[in-house]
Amino acid sequence: MVQNVYLMERNKKIGEKVVINFKKRFFEAYFVETKKEALEKAIDLIPQNDTVSWGGSMSVLEIGLIDHILKGNYNVINRDLAKTAEERTAMLRQALLCDTYLMGTNAISADGQLVNIDCIGNRTASLMFGPKNVIVIAGMNKLTTNLQDAIKRAREIAAPTNMQRVAGKGLRQTPCFSTGICEDCTSKDSICSNIVITRLCNPPKRIKIILTSESLGF
């Protein structure tokens, strides 16, 4: 546990600088130490009665935010409740116009840029345009030294790991599903159709980033 205290101290020093760099790029950004604080901050940022939706994200799940939204006073667009593929697609399209969209991020560069990889692009589309507000939940494990390393992290760590998660949905025919290693495939089952760098937030403060000292997601 002593080690954790030192890690938390280091993360705080670095994380607060990353928050300053996010703000220079017009993101609204916060550094918090724990998952519990991340949840509290996210709840503060979501107005009651908002229409809320989300992209697939272990980080959002891990802090308990989806549970809170499902129990709370919000209008929810939850594609996991769709009974058919058509209904699911319709919900994904509706989510593009929600009030608050929740998501994680695949990587962060220390100078304050986000890198995200997406299959059909609903998550990256929502990040770029549509929802009035986007809340990004991220652990310090997503932080890399520079943009090149952030892209590398997204491609070589986040995407092959995510493939293990989605493989249960039948997306199996990729090299990374078998080996765990990205081979830059062009398989029809690839989840890496879109690689998006968010280098500035426009309009300012539309994207709100909650960076926590604790590790979240992968």
Residues that bind ligand SF4 (CB under 6 A): 159-160, 163, 174-176, 182-185, 187, 190-192
Q: Which is nearer to ligand SF4, 56 or 175 (CB)?
A: 175
CB of 193 to ligand SF4, least distance (A): 9
Q: What's the closest the beta carbon of residue 141 comes to ligand SF4, in angstroms? A: 18
| Least distance between ligand SF4 and beta carbon 53 (Å) | 24
Task: Tell me whether residue 43 or residue 167 sits nearer to ligand SF4 (CB atom).
Answer: 167
Intra-chain end-to-end CA distance of the chain, in Å? 22
CB-wise, 127 or 182, nearer to ligand SF4?
182
Sign for the CA dihedral angle at 160, 165, 169, 172 comes to positive
Q: Which is nearer to ligand SF4, 103 or 191 (CB)?
A: 191
Q: Cβ closer to ligand SF4: 87 or 183? A: 183
Q: Give CA separation, 204 vs 3, 16, 54, 59, 141, in Å.
A: 38, 19, 21, 24, 25
Pick the closer one to ligand SF4 by CB: 16 or 184: 184
CA–chain centroid gap for 89, Å, is 20
Residue 162 beta carbon to ligand SF4: minimum distance, rounded to whole angstroms? 8
Write out the two tokens for 55: 């992209």
| Residue type (1 letter), 37 | E
d(CA 115, CA 100): 20
Q: Are strands 207-212 and 143-144 parallel, antiparallel or unpaired?
A: unpaired
> Least distance from C-beta 80 to ligand SF4, angstroms?
22
Rounded CA-CA distance 120/92 in Å is 10
Residue bearing tokens 């272990």: 58
Please report how close the Cβ of residue 58 comes to ligand SF4 at its closest, in angstroms.
Answer: 16
Parallel, antiparallel, or unpaired: how do β-strands 113-118 and 107-109 relate?
antiparallel
